[in-house]
Amino acid sequence: MRPLRLSSFNIRMETSEPDPGVRRSVSADIQRAPIDNWSNRKSDVIKSILASDADIIGLQEVLPDQLRCLTDALHPHGYQHVGLGRGEDGDDEASPIFFKGEVFDLVHHDQRWLSATPSVPGSMLDGAGCPRVVTAALLKTKSSGQHLCAFCCHLDHHGMERAAWPFSRGLHIQAAQAEILLKEVDLFCGRLAAGCTHAVRVILGDFNSWRGAGAHQVLCQHGYKDASSASGTDSRPTFTGFRSGNIIARLVERWNSVQIDWIFAGGPAVLSNYALGSGSYLASDGKLRNLSDHVMILADVSLQAGELP
């Protein structure tokens, strides 16, 4: 079986607010200008997603109108999806999983909250800024009948400002949410058909944690493989802001601390071909700008034959 292409992309929620990376570096008039509105960039974001040709796509910061837009655009190209908003009524931001219907059958899916009560919709972990979810899907490859468990998440941002300073050991909220995440991953796989407990697991998302800290540290300590370290170490930033030269870019130059989007795999899998996506759109200020304040990340995963149900 050929390797499967994975991607994760925080598309930036639909908002009239500007790029958060430029708020302190531009005039008040420009701050109020909706340069990076979803309406200005959605067609190019969709083109970028389709061009990646990923078999499994994890997205973050997807509001209901954005999800409808994406499903309308991606479903005709053979993608299916699971995942709702993190709010009590399924509203607010979602972390959906899109997958190719020609490659996979959907066996089961679920959504859990990264809190002390994961089954309670809208619940939050103490100290977090908002509810956070993990979207889960058990997929079965049509060509070989192998199972794969896919998960997508967007962990909290609280504490990142303090933790960004050199020598800080912050990111406690992200580490705690990662521990809950991994318990839910185990429970999801354990509830399914016999043998799926040992299936490959891929976890995609914006973890708001840099290398060796917070959630990244927790997942690596639990034996998960990081795609950016599959062959050497690729430490390029994944949170860049919408344009170069802003405060986020300067933070990157000073501390190289905003690689916060990750692709992990557990079980009998081999990760390879880690890459960053690219792309831009013509903004209302007449300049080419990044598709989102994050860049898409991609990797291939090979399911090792003979070890899966």
How does residue 37 score in pLDDT terms, banded at 50, 70 and 90?
confident
Residue 59's pLDDT is 99
Residue 309 is assigned to a structural domain of this protein:
no
pLDDT surpassing 80 at residue 40: yes
Residue 23 is assigned to a structural domain of this protein:
yes
Residue 308 is assigned to a structural domain of this protein:
no
Give the CATH number for residue 114: 3.60.10.10
Buried b (16+ CB within 10 A) or exposed e, 279-292: bebebeeeeebbbb
Q: Tens digit of pLDDT for each residue in 187-202? A: 999 887 555 767 899 9
**205: phi then psi, degrees, rounded to nearest 5:** 160, 180
Q: Tens digit of pLDDT for each residue in 104-130? A: 999 999 999 999 999 999 999 999 999
Residue 96 is assigned to a structural domain of this protein:
yes
Residue 24 is assigned to a structural domain of this protein:
yes
Residue 11 is assigned to a structural domain of this protein:
yes
Pairing, β 56-60 against β 4-10 = parallel
Domain count along the chain = 1
Q: Are 182 and 219 in contact (CB under 8 A)?
A: yes
Domain of residue 119, residue span = 4-303
Helices (H), the chain: 28-32, 38-52, 64-74, 160-163, 172-190, 214-221, 247-255
Q: Say which amino acid occupies 170.
A: G
Q: Are 226 and 270 in contact (CB under 8 A)?
A: no
Residues in the chain: 309
